[in-house]
Amino acid sequence: MKKILIQYLPEIFFKEKGIRSASTILLIAAIMLVVEYYGWQGPFFNFAKNSPLLRFEDKNMVFFMAQVFTSSSFALFFFLIPLCFNFFLPIDPKDNQVGLSLPKKGSLLKDYAPLVLIMLPVLWIACSNPSFYKFYPLYKPTSLKMLLLYEIVYLTQFVSVEFFFRGFGIFRLEKLCPGYGVLLMVIPYSFVHIHKPFGEAIGSIVAGVILGRLALKSNSIWPGVLVHACIALSADIFSLYHSGRLSQLF
């Protein structure tokens, strides 16, 4: 049986820790496909069209529920499943770090604050473009209360995103291919932005490299979560302002 498998499977399967290594990459690929087909707003909208339970008088509410679905899906596929996988099948039982520890002292202000200061004016200009302010926020709130509720649901997904792409993926791949973990995880991270405006999709490559490097440097995903959430929240607020919808909430 082994001789037959050797003909079809990569050599890594038969090396020390080979199953742990190969399964990491295969799990990342599988999760990306499952999320693409079943785990974000698009599949939810397709399901909602045929479900009598998701027919709201306010048509806009389906976008709110789509975000609830997406955040829940990300929590399952980008956080819980990889977390359990890493616990039961660590690459190195002596060093099972995946970025969930608190960051090193001073890294938040020294390394991450400049990113926010640079990005905010760029984001302000980008959100003045109709392709951005028509896209964000995905749910168009009708009151400050609904905006706040939506943002709470929306921003929770960045814990899952940062864990999967900057924690689980990078920390495990660094153990397999030292020096290449960050670059390898940029590939699936850029793909998850395919449905976003092109400028944001291209920017995800740069963001993936920088945030990945800083996650390894600080040994933590949490500063990246804060930066990601800050940028996402700012994009929604700036888009509401440029579209003229923000003043209507008051």
Residue 92 has pLDDT above 90, yes or no: no
pLDDT in the model for residue 229: 94
**Mean local confidence (pLDDT), 203-212:** 94
pLDDT in the model for residue 9: 66
Residues 121, 126, 129, 131: what is their CA dihedral angle, to the nearest 10 degrees? -150
CA gap 117, 234 in Å, rounded: 12
Instruction: Mark 171-187 as b/e (b = at least 16 C-beta within 10 Å).
Output: bbbbbbeeeebbebbbe
pLDDT in the model for residue 48: 78
Report pLDDT digits (tens) over 150-202: 999 999 999 999 999 999 999 999 988 889 999 999 999 999 998 888 888 99
Query: Hey, how many other C-beta atoms are within 10 angstroms of the C-beta on 88?
Result: 7
CA gap 192, 151 in Å, rounded: 20
The domain ranges of the chain are 2-91+101-249
Of 243 and 55, the structure prediction assigns the larger pLDDT to 243
Residue 56 has pLDDT above 70, yes or no: no
pTM for the complete prediction?
A: 0.90
Query: Hey, how many other C-beta atoms are within 10 angstroms of the C-beta on 77?
Result: 19
HEC string for 166-179: HHHHHHHHHHHCCC
Under DSSP, the state recorded for 16 is: T
- What is the number of residues in the chain? 250
Nearest to 100 by CA among 19, 45, 168: 168
**Which tokens go with 104?**
């090193």
Percent of the chain scoring above 90 in pLDDT: 59
